Amino acid sequence: MTSADTQDTQAVTPPPPPPAEITYTGQYSINPLGEVSFRKLCGQLPSVLRRIARMSWDVDRRAVLLLLVCQLVTGVAAAVLLAATASAMRPVLGGGSVADRLHAALPALLVVAGASALTRGSAAVSTYAERRITPRLTTVTDTALVEAVCRVEAAAYAVDGFADRQEAAEMGVIRTHVMVSDAQRFMSALVKMVTASGVLSVLNPLMLPLLLLAVLPAGVGAVLSARVDYEIHYANVADRNVRGMMRWWSTTPKYADEVRANGMTDYLLYWYRSLSERVDGRTLTAAPRTLRIALVSSVVGGVFLVATWAVLAWLAVTGRVALALAATAVVAVQTTLAALSQVIINGAAVFHTSLYLSDMQAFLDDAEARAPDRGELAVSAPVEEIRLDEVTYQYPGKDKPAVDRVSLTLRRGEILAVVGVNGSGKSTLTRLITGIYLADKGRVTWNGSDLARIAEATVWSRTGLVPQIFAQWPLRVRENVTLGQPRTFDDGEVWQALDAVGMREAVEELSQGLDTLLAREVFGGAELSGGQWQRLACSRALYRRPSLLILDEPTSQMDPRGEHAIFEEIKAIAGDRITIVVTHRLENTKVADHIVVMDQGRITEQGGYDELVHAGGIFAELLALSQDR
């Protein structure tokens, strides 16, 4: 190819498409902060603090009590400090020699030193107590989030915005790292501020309102900035969610071959960069807004602060306040000012946290509402019959059902094969039979009991499923077979399950046999081939000895030996259970007692293999196509 050819090719090649822009619709397009007033936001602080206290209380009561004692000590020490400063100032600024004046002030100065030491000591103990609470609080919230997601009805995953709200809730977990220390700093600054301002108003009632005016603009500014930050965060949630997923897909060794051999690296990096720039772009739009807020609040606050100092100077110069009191007032103003700033900074941080906590709580509540609530019935063993009566299921957002008025009876000892073109509803049907999804209309019964009324755990303890896309668990071989639910104390049954899929030799060759960690990314971990992973997925379904065994394309990656072994095993153990095989390899349906053919969610043909081969329907057509090479 000449360079001209290359240029030609480049000239006609379209540029890569940028990442899709995701826009929310419906209830999730509304920023919960959009309509909230500043006063209402400040009014939320007490309830947020109560919530943080409650969460901390559940984690470590003694540490919370310790924190409370420290707040009390901080308050008392601040009051003592100021009172002692005032009584030290009188002799220091009075008459006599320096030595005499210092001598007279010594007792008060010792109290000042003691109160300062107490303040420092209580700050150190507060930090200790906070560090006892925070890690456990983070673990508890993080685990609660993971558990909530694991426990929802699987159908929730298909609900629009579910994953994005989960992403938003993750931010709540991240904020738990700083939540207690922010709240603790806020409380201790508040206590200091109240005591110092109390002392100040005793010295001169005019000082306090002026001081408040000096700091209030900074408070308003901090809360408004937090609000802008959240607005940006809210606008970026969907993009950050997609970027997080894409990051994993681009960097996981699982897809490294596909990415490299198809020359996708540049595109993926371009994509990742574009999305990051879009997120940054939104974040940058906040910068001028927060700058304006900071400038205005600083200017207004500064003017009031100058006025405060001017009033103090005027009071001292005109003799309205004694010099010693004026000097104490300087210390009190400084203390109050520092405490007020801390109250505002940490108050804004607590408020900021509250936004993410609300997202987290809303998600946890939503997830709880989406957890199965099916009743207390248990499935009786053995499972003799599973029946589907006019079962219909439609995914959220889809305009037609994936499974449409399907009726079917499955009996113990039978093997059912389900075939049909892509998207005809086969996998959805298996989800309905196992109760992973509940039917929108019609009903699925196990031994006569409606799945909608049976406790799901009792159903799933009798189920073994090899899904089309199965997990390659980064666990040891043994756990990959038992899934952490060993049946016996020895490995006999594990080996039996591995033998059934012809995996004994491959496992024995691994450096640590059943103890080998199947995660190449981890030091000492091993990797299996695609077909070996699929054999392992089959072995774990067999290990469970389920009443209902479902194999969805179980041999798609296997060599003929593996495939033969699996189908021999299926036939051998079929007598004790109901077996369902979903497959596109129509030859494999010969093992089945009954075959159903699905098309657009409906069963369009059914019968035995020989019957369907000659029926002139979809089955015969698909079989003919599979043999036409």
Q: Where on the chain is the footprint of ligand ATP (CB under 6 A)?
A: 158, 395, 398, 402, 420, 422-428, 468
Between 468 and 485, name the residue whose CB sits nearer to ligand ATP: 468
Bond from prior residue into 560 cis (ω within 30 degrees of 0): no
Kindly state the tokens that stand for 392. 């219909």
- Min dist CB 169 to ligand ATP, Å, is 21
Q: Kindly state the DSSP code that residue 158 receives in the 8-state scheme.
A: G
How near is the Cβ of 563 to ligand ATP at its closest, in Å?
18
Angstrom distance (rounded) from CA 181 to CA 429: 51
User: Among residues 191 and 598, whose Cβ is nearest to ligand ATP?
Assistant: 598
**By C-beta, is 283 or 556 nearer to ligand ATP?**
556
Q: How far apart are CA 39 and CA 36, in angstroms?
A: 8
Closest separation in Å from C-beta 573 to ligand ATP: 24
Q: Which residue's entry shows tokens 């309205």?
A: 320
Please provide the DSSP assignment of 510-552 as one string.
STTGGG-B--TTSTT-----HHHHHHHHHHHHHHT--SEEEEE
Alpha helices (H) in 370-393, listed in sequence order:
none
Q: Is 594 helix (H, G, I), strand (E, B) or coil?
A: strand
- Please report how close the Cβ of residue 213 comes to ligand ATP at its closest, in angstroms: 57
d(CA 437, CA 154): 7
Please give the backbone phi and psi of residue 16, each rounded to the nearest 5 degrees, phi first: -65, 140
Q: Which is nearer to ligand ATP, 152 or 344 (CB)?
A: 152
Q: How far is the CB of 148 from ligand ATP (least distance, A)?
A: 19
Report in angstroms how near the CB of residue 586 gets to ligand ATP at its nearest: 13
Beta carbon nearer to ligand ATP, 293 or 548: 548
Helical segments of 370-441, H only:
426-434
CA distance 263 to 284: 33
Of 398 and 571, CB closest to ligand ATP: 398
DSSP string, 215-255: HHHHHHHHHHHHHHHHHHHHHHHHHHHHHHHHHHHHH-GGG
Strand, helix or coil at 407? strand
Contact 377, 356 (CB under 8 A): no
- Pick 112 or 155: Cβ nearer ligand ATP: 155
For ligand ATP, the closer of residues 426 and 535 by Cβ is 426
- In the complex, what is the shortest distance from the CB of residue 623 to ligand ATP, in angstroms, rounded to a whole number? 16
Distance between CA 583 and CA 567 in Å, rounded? 12
Q: How far is the CB of 155 from ligand ATP (least distance, A)?
A: 9
Q: How far apart are CA 28 and CA 25, in angstroms?
A: 6
Question: In the complex, what is the shortest distance from the CB of residue 392 to ligand ATP, in angstroms, rounded to a whole number?
Answer: 12
Token pair in block for residue 496: 């039996």
Which CB sits closer to ligand ATP, 231 or 605?
Answer: 605
